[in-house]
């Protein structure tokens, strides 16, 4: 029976749109999932959204929406973003799913029945504006930083989880399992925290204060604290307690997170699990933060980087490669487009792209585009190349499970460099000219083809599209997810006589100036914006939509605008007569639009086009060269509001 591997990302709050921080964690989990599949594990990969609590209520209020409708919308953005980044998740969980709610209530009841939840009064400093308690340390000059006013003393009765009871057990567990929390710096951070007495955790919120949450099964007046709800997703998704997936994949779980949420994952979650009576997860993998221009990513400073803005400009695999190559897992890293361009040009266009295209070009030239058999016996440089490749496979197998993604990539690039140098030193073009060197040339080219195939297999978890393209050109029509490291990287197993296809450059070079110019003209960002729109990411509230006054109208009169190829002047009946100038003359004559039923934006600011006043806009869609006027399915009266 094959081994099991279960990887999770945090479930993201639905109060922000996906950015590169979310993308990084999710791509890391994806690489781990794909890597374990490549090794033949049976895997399960979970991501999703965290939808309850104050934060979400606030964000929904700002968007003038009900929390559920708001959560539906942002959750969909996450769900629709991941396939565009080639994320191979098996399931997408939402904390508003009925199945999740059931499991949270089940665990609450279990922990309650075990005597680990008690009711008690809490006295603290409460900000009425924020509707929450503050600790002394969070206050600035004794005031709430958001409302600039002093909080009031308030007493509230709540339920508490007896976390303190599990402190000693947790310390022992972490000490007995050195890689329970990794890398080591985060394990040390948690242990340092556990040196102080652990306080019990307040796990309820009275409904009069917050009703957007999961009701406590033992007291209807309360909902549970959002972290007690959210962490349970990792088991509700796999049908805890009785489901087959739970039996199969728990405790083979690896939670992957950034350092911001170390405490809930390193302390709350294992103690909750212990109280509920099952085995803790296997690893907590904690990474650092992406910074922008050495600073924190911030909405107000406009430094939030959206992955779907970058992918249309640089390509998905270059983006995935950059994130995994640039960040040392566990440490912070800086994101900049310049650094991405440098890596793209040096590592991808030069090292990888050139090796592949040189190899295929020479195969085309010397062997009619067919894979040659091994010819002459291997010589020293051949052995060196093969040893290097073998060593890379070893490093790769060892490093990825211990989160050394950048080290695995560096090692692959050592093989690429060795192969590029091999070409320069054995100079196949010289062998091709020399009589009697054909067998040697066969061996050299075959070695190069084998290396390229191995590299394609090794990069598959990181750059699945590129891997598939490379393999297809070597006449290996396999999907990245169907590859198996042992079989598919075995040296010498390419098929002789099979054709290879040169194709275009894998990674065309990117010129910084060209990108800057295009951006100035608004081109690639437009592509990014278009991608965002496609993902439904440029959202407007219903309030904003309502500001648009769309009306039905009938064209009464039309005439061409002199000296303009595009414009027609129309008089449209929208309950009153409106003069509108429309850019539809290239596809519609004046005669043909008279009598047509149209839709007009009636409250557009008046504008002058070729000196003619236009008070509104006619809606049309362009499909390639064709322009079609928007109308209603049935004839209707003019002047009706479209909503």
CA atoms within 13 A of residue 316's CA, in its CB half-sphere: 16
Which two structure tokens, joined as six digits, stand for 234?
Answer: 């990792």
Specify whether 202 is catalytic.
Answer: no
Binding ligand MSP by CB under 6 A: which of 290, 329, 366, 396?
Answer: 290
- C-alpha distances (whole Å) from 433 to each of 211, 429, 437, 512 are 81, 7, 8, 40
Indicate the burial class of 272 (C-beta count within 10 angstroms; 0-12, 13-18, 19 or more).
buried
The answer to the question of residue 10 lying near ligand MSP (CB under 6 A) is: yes
Residues 6+ apart with CB under 8 A from 570: 555, 557, 558, 579, 580, 581, 582, 593, 618
Q: Least separation, in Å, of the C-beta of 261 and ligand MSP?
A: 5
Catalytic hit among 55, 84, 130, 596: 130
Contact flag: residue 594 with ligand MSP (CB under 6 A): no
Catalytic residue among 296, 521, 526, 546: 296
Cα distance between residue 19 and residue 74, in whole Å: 13
Residue 147: partners with Cβ closer than 8 Å, 6 or more residues away: 127, 129, 130
**Among residues 213 and 353, whose Cβ is nearest to ligand MSP?**
213
Taking CB under 6 A as the criterion, the residue among 46, 107, 127, 231 binding ligand MSP is 231
CB count within 10 Å of CB 105 equals 18
Q: How far is CA 397 from the centre of its chain?
A: 25
Identify the active-site residue in 68, 299, 495, 501: 299
**Span of 173-181, 225-233, 375-383, 545-553 interacting with ligand MSP by CB under 6 A:** 225-233
From 19, 52, 100, 283, active-site residue: 19
Taking the least distance from each CB to ligand MSP, the nearer of 238 and 620 is 238
Site string for ligand MSP, 270-289 (x = CB under 6 A): -------------------x
Q: Does 52 bind ligand MSP (CB under 6 A)?
A: no
Residue 136 sits at φ, ψ, to 5 deg, of -50, -40
Question: How many residues touch ligand MSP (CB under 6 A)?
Answer: 19
Up-side HSE of residue 495: CA atoms within 13 Å toward CB? 10
**Per rule CB under 6 A, is residue 11 in the interface with ligand MSP?**
yes
Stretch 331-370: interaction string toward ligand MSP, x if CB under 6 A:
----------------------------------------
Angle, vertex CA 521, rays to CA 515 and CA 525, nearest 5 = 60
> Active-site residue 22, yes or no?
yes
Considering the complex, state which of residue 255 and residue 578 has its C-beta at the smaller distance from ligand MSP. 255
- Catalytic: which of 68, 123, 147, 526? 147
Q: How far is the CB of 12 from ligand MSP (least distance, A)?
A: 4
Q: Which is nearer to ligand MSP, 297 or 432 (CB)?
A: 297
Q: With residue 341 as reference, give the H or E element that holds it.
A: helix 337-343
Nearer to ligand MSP, 290 or 422 (CB): 290
Location of structure tokens 């093989």: 415
Q: Which is nearer to ligand MSP, 261 or 518 (CB)?
A: 261
Active-site annotation holds for 127: yes
Could you confirm whether 147 is annotated as catalytic? yes
Q: State both tokens at 18.
A: 């996906």
Is 257 a binding residue for ligand MSP by CB under 6 A? The answer is yes
Please report whether residue 551 would count as binding ligand MSP according to CB under 6 A.
no
110 in active site: no
The span from the CA of 226 to the CA of 419, in Å, is 53
CB 29 within 8 A of CB 9: yes
Whole-angstrom distance, CA of residue 234 vs CA of residue 47:
9
- 25 versus 345: smaller Cβ distance to ligand MSP: 25
Confirm or reject binding of residue 297 to ligand MSP (CB under 6 A): yes
Contact 341, 508 (CB under 8 A): no
Q: Which two tokens stand for residue 567?
A: 């414009």
Catalytic machinery residues: 19, 22, 127, 130, 144, 147, 296, 299
Q: Which residues contact ligand MSP (rule: CB under 6 A)?
A: 10-13, 21-22, 24-25, 50, 230-231, 233, 257-258, 260-261, 289-290, 297
């Amino acid at each position: 029976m094959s081994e099991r591997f279960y990887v999770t990302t945090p479930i993201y709050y639905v109060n922000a749109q996906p950015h590169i921080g979310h993308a990084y964690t999710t791509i890391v989990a994806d690489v781990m999932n794909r890597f374990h599949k490549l090794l033949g594990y049976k895997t399960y990969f979970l991501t999703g959204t965290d939808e309850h609590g104050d934060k979400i209520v606030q964000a929904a209020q700002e968007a003038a929406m009900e929390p559920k409708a708001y959560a539906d919308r942002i959750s969909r953005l996450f769900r629709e973003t991941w396939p565009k980044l080639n994320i191979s998740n098996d399931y997408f969980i939402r904390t508003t799913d009925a199945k999740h709610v059931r499991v949270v209530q089940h665990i609450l009841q279990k922990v309650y029945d075990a005597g680990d939840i008690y009711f008690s009064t809490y006295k603290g400093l409460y900000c009425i504006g924020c509707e929450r308690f503050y600790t002394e340390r969070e206050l600035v000059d004794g005031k709430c930083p958001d409302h600039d006013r002093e909080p009031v003393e308030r007493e509230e009765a709540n339920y508490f989880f007896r976390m303190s009871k599990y402190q000693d057990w947790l310390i022992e567990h972490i000490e007995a399992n050195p890689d329970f929390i990794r890398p080591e710096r985060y394990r040390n951070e948690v242990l340092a925290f556990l040196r102080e007495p652990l306080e019990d955790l307040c796990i309820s919120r009275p409904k009069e204060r917050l009703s957007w949450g999961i009701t406590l099964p033992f007291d209807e007046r309360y909902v549970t604290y959002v972290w007690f709800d959210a962490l349970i997703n990792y088991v509700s998704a796999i049908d805890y307690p009785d489901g087959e997936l739970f039996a199969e994949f728990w405790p083979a779980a690896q939670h992957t997170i950034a350092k911001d949420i170390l405490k809930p994952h390193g302390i709350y979650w294992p103690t909750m699990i212990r109280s509920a009576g099952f085995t803790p997860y296997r690893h907590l993998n904690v990474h650092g933060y992406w910074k922008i221009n050495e600073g924190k990513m911030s909405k107000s400073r406009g430094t939030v980087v959206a992955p779907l803005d970058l992918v249309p400009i640089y390509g998905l695999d270059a983006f995935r490669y950059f994130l995994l190559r640039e960040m040392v897992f566990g440490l912070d890293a800086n994101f900049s487009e310049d650094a991405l361009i440098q890596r793209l040009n040096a590592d991808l266009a030069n090292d990888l792209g050139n090796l592949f295209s040189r190899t295929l070009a020479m195969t085309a030239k010397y062997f009619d585009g067919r894979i040659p058999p091994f010819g002459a016996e291997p010589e020293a440089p051949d052995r060196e190349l093969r040893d290097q490749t073998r060593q890379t496979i070893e490093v790769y197998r060892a490093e990825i499970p211990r989160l050394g993604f950048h080290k695995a990539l560096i090692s692959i690039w050592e093989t690429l460099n060795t192969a590029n140098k091999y070409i320069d030193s054995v100079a196949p073009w010289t062998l091709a000219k020399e009589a009697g060197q054909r067998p040697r040339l066969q061996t050299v080219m075959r070695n190069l083809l084998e290396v390229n195939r191995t590299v394609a297999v090794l990069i598959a978890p990181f750059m699945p599209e590129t891997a598939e393209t490379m393999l297809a050109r070597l006449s290996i029509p396999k999907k990245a997810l169907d590859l198996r490291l042992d079989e598919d990287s075995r040296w010498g197993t390419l098929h002789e006589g099979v054709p290879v296809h040169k194709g275009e450059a894998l990674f065309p070079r990117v010129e910084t100036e060209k990108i800057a110019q295009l951006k100035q003209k608004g081109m690639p960002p437009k592509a990014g914006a278009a991608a965002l729109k496609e993902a439904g990411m440029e959202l407007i509230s219903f309030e904003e939509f309502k500001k648009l006054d769309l009306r039905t109208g009938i064209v009464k009169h039309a005439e061409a605008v002199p000296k303009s190829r595009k414009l027609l002047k129309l008089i449209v009946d929208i309950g009153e007569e409106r003069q509108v100038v429309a850019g539809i003359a290239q596809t519609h004559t004046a005669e043909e639009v008279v009598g047509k039923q149209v839709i007009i934006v009636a409250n557009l600011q008046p504008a002058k086009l070729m000196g003619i006043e236009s008070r509104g806009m006619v809606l049309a869609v362009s499909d390639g060269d064709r322009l079609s006027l928007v109308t209603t399915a049935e004839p209707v009266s003019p002047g009706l509001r479209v909503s």
